[in-house]
C-alpha cells in the first residue's frame, strides 16, 4: 500500500483509507459486530492505516466498534473522528442540531478517547460548521486539546473557503473532509486551490458516490427503509436512471484498463492531487480488496483527458442532499 501525507503536516496515511460509518449507521441496519471487527483487521493486514468514524455514527457504536477492532494496532493506525452535532437527549438514533461550543467539543473529545481506546485522537474534525459558534472559538478549543495532548491534528468537514482560512489562522488545519468524486466535483472551483495554497490535505468521503459509481445500482434498485439514500434527491429513481451515464464512462475506461468502475473512480481521485486521500466505505471483504486494487491502476495523462472531456458532456441529476442538509455545507 502506498502512503500519502495530508498537506504540509507530518500525518502520513495509506493512500486509501476506510470509511467506517456504513458498518453501523445510515446504510440500513448495523452489521454484525464480529464480522466488522474482522473486516477492519483485514484492512490493516492489507496495509490500510487510515480509519474514519464519528461520535454521531450510531451514535457512539461506530467509535466503539473501531476502538475495539483496532486496539491491537495502536501506533500503526490513524483514526479520525468528529464532533459538532447535538445528539438526541432522549437517546434517539438521530442528531437534533449542531453544537460546536468549546465546552461541548471538549466533552465529546473525552467520550471519543474512551470509546476509541486511545490516549490521543489522531485527527479531530468539526463534522459540520456551526453558524452559531465563531470558527475561531472552535479552532481555539481544538488547539487547547492539542496542547493538552488529547488531540494530534485538527480538521474541518464541508467548510467553505473563508471558514477554512479563519480556522487555519488560529490552529493549522491538517485536513478538510469533503465529498469529492467524479459526480461531485464542487470542491474543484474554490476549495482545492485554497487547500493547495494553505498546505491542507483533502480527505474525500463518498468517493464512490455512496455506492452509485460501483455500477451496482440502477433505477430499479431498492434500499432498506432505514437507508438514508432514500432521502437523497440524487438517488431518486429518475436521477439514478439519468446518472447511469457517469457509470458508463467509468466502465468504458475500466474495460481498457482491466479495472472495475469503482477502481477507475478511485484511481481518478488519486490522480488529481498527491495530497488527496479517498476513504471509501464497505462492509464486504471482496469490496475492500477491489477498492485497494485501485491504488495500482495507473491513469495516463491521455486517460485523464479522455475522462475529463467525456465527463464534461454529462450533467449529474439531483442534489446530493435534501435542502435542510444542503444548507449545512460550504459554510
Which amino acids are annotated catalytic? 57
Q: How many CB atoms lie within 10 A of CB 123?
A: 25
Rounded to the nearest 10 degrees, the angle between the axes of helix 102-116 and helix 61-70 is 40
173 beta partners: 154
Q: Which three cell numbers stand for residue 47?
A: 496495509
Q: How many CB atoms lie within 10 A of CB 66?
A: 29
Is residue 243 exposed (0-12), middle (13-18) or buried (19+ Cβ within 10 Å)? buried
Taking alpha carbons only, the member of 101, 106, 110, 113 closest to residue 137 is: 101
Residues 6+ apart with CB under 8 A from 112: 55, 63, 81, 83, 121, 124
Q: Which helix (H) or strand (E) holds 154?
A: strand 151-157
Q: Which three cell numbers stand for residue 327?
A: 444548507
DSSP at 300 = P
- Using CA atoms of 278, 112, 164, 99 in order, give the dihedral in degrees to the nearest 10: 130
Amino acid at each position: 500500500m502506498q502512503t500519502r501525507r495530508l498537506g504540509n503536516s507530518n500525518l502520513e496515511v495509506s493512500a486509501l483509507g476506510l470509511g467506517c460509518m456504513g458498518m453501523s449507521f445510515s446504510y440500513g441496519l448495523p452489521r454484525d459486530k464480529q464480522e466488522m471487527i474482522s473486516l477492519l483487521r483485514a484492512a490493516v493486514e492489507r496495509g490500510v492505516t487510515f480509519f474514519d468514524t464519528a461520535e454521531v455514527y450510531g451514535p457512539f457504536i461506530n467509535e466503539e466498534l473501531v476502538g475495539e477492532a483496532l486496539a491491537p494496532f495502536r501506533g500503526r493506525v490513524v483514526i479520525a473522528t468528529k464532533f459538532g452535532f447535538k445528539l438526541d437527549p432522549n437517546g434517539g438514533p438521530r442528531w437534533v442540531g449542531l453544537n460546536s461550543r468549546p465546552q461541548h467539543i471538549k466533552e465529546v473529545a473525552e467520550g471519543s478517547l474512551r470509546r476509541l481506546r486511545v490516549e490521543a485522537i489522531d485527527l479531530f474534525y468539526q463534522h459540520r460548521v456551526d453558524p452559531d459558534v465563531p470558527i475561531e472559538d472552535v479552532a481555539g478549543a481544538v488547539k487547547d486539546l492539542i496542547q493538552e495532548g488529547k488531540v494530534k491534528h485538527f480538521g474541518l468537514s464541508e467548510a467553505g473557503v473563508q471558514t477554512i482560512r479563519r480556522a487555519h489562522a488560529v490552529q493549522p488545519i491538517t485536513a478538510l473532509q469533503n465529498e469529492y468524486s467524479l459526480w461531485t466535483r464542487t470542491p474543484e472551483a474554490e476549495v482545492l486551490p485554497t487547500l493547495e495554497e494553505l498546505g491542507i490535505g483533502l480527505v474525500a468521503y463518498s468517493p464512490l458516490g455512496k455506492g452509485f459509481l460501483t455500477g451496482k445500482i440502477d433505477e430499479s434498485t431498492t434500499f432498506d427503509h432505514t437507508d438514508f439514500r432514500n432521502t437523497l434527491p440524487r438517488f431518486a429513481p429518475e436521477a439514478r436512471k439519468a446518472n447511469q451515464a457517469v457509470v458508463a464512462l467509468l466502465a468504458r475506461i475500466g474495460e481498457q484498463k482491466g479495472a472495475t468502475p469503482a477502481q477507475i473512480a478511485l484511481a481518478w481521485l488519486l490522480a488529481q492531487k498527491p495530497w488527496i486521500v479517498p476513504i471509501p466505505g464497505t462492509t464486504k471483504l471482496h469490496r475492500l480488496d477491489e477498492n485497494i486494487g485501485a491504488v495500482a491502476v495507473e491513469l495516463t495523462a491521455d486517460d485523464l483527458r479522455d475522462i475529463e472531456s467525456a465527463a464534461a458532456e454529462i450533467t449529474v441529476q439531483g442534489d446530493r442532499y435534501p435542502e435542510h442538509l444542503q444548507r449545512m455545507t460550504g459554510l
